Amino acid sequence: MLKQDNLSVTQDCHDCPIRHRAVCARCESDELGLLEDIKYYRRFEAGQTVIWSGDRMDFVGSVVSGIATLTQTMEDGRTQMVGLLLPSDFVGRPGRGTAAYDVVATTDMVMCCFRKAPFEDMMNRTPHIAQRLLEMTLDELDAAREWMLVLGRKTAREKIASLLSIIARRDATLNLGALDGPVSFDLPLTREAMADYLGLTLETVSRQVSALKKDQVITLEGKRHVTVPDMSRLLEEAGDDTDGGMLV
């Protein structure tokens, strides 16, 4: 799961795996069909920096397949990931000319892009889409703020558990998986990327993952494939509200 498709450039968006949150041609609205002629796909290789902070952004789009990270870097090299882009996530911001963060592909990825100016025109004519975008931005704001709690107040172990439960949840959403039985998924991030997300070092991440495994909160097959026998146990480890956390 979460693996990349071989999407052809001519593929119609009806077949686009973007469904739930995406603003993408025809997936949610016929207005977007008007943009068909300015829609295109972009392909990026794993490890490639898709967008550099400060770049002119001439497009907006959605992730079709693959995974990317939004990161900020200080002059001395310290880096903090500020967001994770999974399939269906929106990239770019109407009304802004330049990128605020680096976008780095962590796997091969495909994005469904629109040239920015026509997209904005369409947005202005279509309150429905503008509202959708506001909603999505508010979701991201909530996610960022939840993450502030993780970064500011949680222990290393809680941080790892929080990250795992977020990935598990998103993976289930994307793949129509259930969250009541055991949950399995591939970690889309290296230990170092996890550390950058959590404000930790990669050594600490490794130790805490091992600890969670030893305490049977999770099982590992290889280094990347995780099974969570009991999600509520994991949420408890994350310090989240005991219930309700897995909804939405």
Chain residues that interact with a copy of itself, rule: CB under 8 A = 70, 72, 74-76, 78-80, 82-83, 93-96, 100-101, 124, 127, 130-131, 133-135, 137-138, 140-142, 144-149, 151-153, 198-199, 239, 241
Distance CA 173, CA 192 (A): 25
* Binding of residue 156 to DNA (CB under 7 A): yes
* Binding of residue 192 to DNA (CB under 7 A): yes
In the range 204-243, which residues lie near DNA by CB under 7 A?
Answer: 204-207, 209-210, 220, 222-224
Considering the complex, what minimum distance in angstroms separates the CB of residue 189 from DNA?
Answer: 8
* Binding of residue 7 to DNA (CB under 7 A): no
Token representation of residue 178: 């259930």
Considering the complex, what minimum distance in angstroms separates the CB of residue 151 from DNA?
Answer: 11
Torsion angle of C-alpha atoms 59, 60, 64, 67, degrees rounded to 10? 90
Residue 201 binding: pick among DNA, a copy of itself, none (C-beta 5-8 Å cut-off by kind)? DNA
Judged by beta carbon, residue 130 or residue 202, the one nearer a copy of itself is 130
Q: What is the largest CA-CA distance in the chain?
A: 56
Q: Of all helices (H) and strands (E), which one includes residue 64?
A: strand 59-65
Distance CA 220, CA 210 (A): 9
Query: Are residues 70 and 196 in contact, defined by beta-carbon separation less than 8 angstroms?
Result: no
Cβ count within 10 A of residue 75 = 5
Cα of 222 vs its chain's centroid, Å: 23
Considering the complex, what minimum distance in angstroms separates the CB of residue 231 from DNA?
Answer: 21
Judged by CB under 7 A, the residue of 21, 39, 132, 157 near DNA is 157
Distance CA 189, CA 125 (A): 39
Judged by beta carbon, residue 2 or residue 238, the one nearer a copy of itself is 238
Considering the complex, what minimum distance in angstroms separates the CB of residue 204 from DNA?
Answer: 3
